[in-house]
Amino acid sequence: MPGRVLVTGASGFVGRNTLAALAARGFEVHAVARNPPAESSVQWHAADLLAPVELDELVAGVRPTHLLHLAWYAEHGRFWDAPENVDWVAASLRLLRAFAAAGGHRAVFAGTCAEYDWTGDCCSAATPLAPATPYGAAKDALRRVVDAAAPGLGVSHAWGRIFFVFGPGEPPTRVVASVARALVRGEPVDCTSGEQVRDFLYAGDLGEAFAALVDTDAVGAFDLGSGVGIRLATLLLRLQELAGRDGLVRLGGLGARPEPARIVAEPNRLTAAVGWAPGDLDAGLEATLAWWRENDVR
C-alpha cells in the first residue's frame, strides 16, 4: 500500500478525475470537499479549508502520508482577480504545515500555466515566470514558499502546472464543455474564431499525471500538458465531427477577445520523472461527448 492520500478540491472538475487514478495505485483515498457528493468509492470528508480550525482537525484526524492539494477559488470569470486568491495562499500554507506536523511526507500542489509570461513563446523551461494576474501571482508565490520550506519540513514536494483541460464534469461555462453539451443536444453554438493555439489535455490524463506525481519522490515543478498545440477551432470542429454533427459549431459567431497566440506545455520533465504520456486526444473527446450524453441535465 503506497499510503493514505488526502485530496483537497476533490469534488471539483480536476479532483473528480484524480480519485480513481489514485485508488488504482493502491492509495487509501481521503477526499475533501465543502459539500461532498453522495457516493462512496472513496472516503469523503466535509471541511472548509478556509476555516483554520476545520483544516487543522481534518488533517490531524486523517493523518495522511500523502497530499494532493487541488482546492482553490475557481469561480468562472472571477477567479483571475478575486481577493480569495489571497485566502487560498494562506490556507495552502497552513495545510502544508498541518500535513507535515501530522507526519506527512509527500505533497503535490496544483499550479497553473498562468504562472508563466504569456507574451512570448510559452511555455518552456526558458519562459520567465511572470504572472499577469492575481490568480497567477498567488499560485507563483505559493510555489516559491513551498519550494523553500518543504525540505525543512521533511516533505518531498512537486508542483504540477495545469494547462487547458477538458473532460467529464467540466463546467459548461467553459468552451469545450459548452460545445460538447450543445453538440449532444443538437443545438447550434456560437464560438470565437478560435485561432489561439492551446495545449488541451483530457482530464483523465491529467488525473493520471497527478496520481503519478503523488506516487513518486520527484521534486519541483512539472508542466502537466500533452506537449501538443492545437488551434481551438480545430479542436471544436473535431469534436463536432466525432459527435456526428455538422454546422452546429459557429466559429466567429462570437467576437474575438485578445488572447495569447500560443500556450503549449513542455511535459518532458514529467515524462522523464514518472513515465507519463497523454492518451489519444480523440479518445478524450469521445469520452467527453459520452459523459454529456449520460449526464446532461436540462
Binding site for its own copies (CB under 8 A): 52, 81-83, 85-87, 89-91, 93-94, 96-97, 100, 131, 133-134, 137-138, 140-142, 144-145, 147-149, 152-153
Nearer to its own copies, 109 or 276 (CB): 109
* Spatial distance between the Cα atoms of 3 and 68, rounded to a whole number of angstroms: 12
Residue 27 beta carbon to its own copies: minimum distance, rounded to whole angstroms: 25
Query: What cell numbers appear for 252 in the block?
Result: 466567429
Nearer to its own copies, 19 or 95 (CB): 95
Helix 281-295 and helix 175-185, axial crossing angle in degrees, nearest 10:
60
Residue 281 beta carbon to its own copies: minimum distance, rounded to whole angstroms: 34
* Spatial distance between the Cα atoms of 166 and 203, rounded to a whole number of angstroms: 6
Nearer to its own copies, 74 or 254 (CB): 74
Residue 154 beta carbon to its own copies: minimum distance, rounded to whole angstroms: 10
Residue 104 beta carbon to its own copies: minimum distance, rounded to whole angstroms: 13
Q: Are 265 and 226 in contact (CB under 8 A)?
A: yes
Nearer to its own copies, 2 or 52 (CB): 52
Q: Which residue has the cell 469545450?
A: 176
For residue 213, give every residue at least 6 positions away whose Cβ sits within 8 Å of its Cβ, in sequence order, or none.
108, 158, 160, 222, 270, 273, 274
* Spatial distance between the Cα atoms of 122 and 266, rounded to a whole number of angstroms: 9
Nearer to its own copies, 100 or 102 (CB): 100
Q: Are 6 and 108 in contact (CB under 8 A)?
A: no
Nearer to its own copies, 151 or 188 (CB): 151
* Spatial distance between the Cα atoms of 133 and 83, rounded to a whole number of angstroms: 11
Burial of 35 (0-12, 13-18, 19+ CB in 10 A): exposed
Nearer to its own copies, 43 or 133 (CB): 133
* Spatial distance between the Cα atoms of 235 and 192, rounded to a whole number of angstroms: 13
Burial of 284 (0-12, 13-18, 19+ CB in 10 A): buried
Residue 46 beta carbon to its own copies: minimum distance, rounded to whole angstroms: 20
Residue 89 beta carbon to its own copies: minimum distance, rounded to whole angstroms: 6
Residue 257 beta carbon to its own copies: minimum distance, rounded to whole angstroms: 21
Residue 45 beta carbon to its own copies: minimum distance, rounded to whole angstroms: 20
- Position 137, amino acid: A
Nearer to its own copies, 52 or 172 (CB): 52
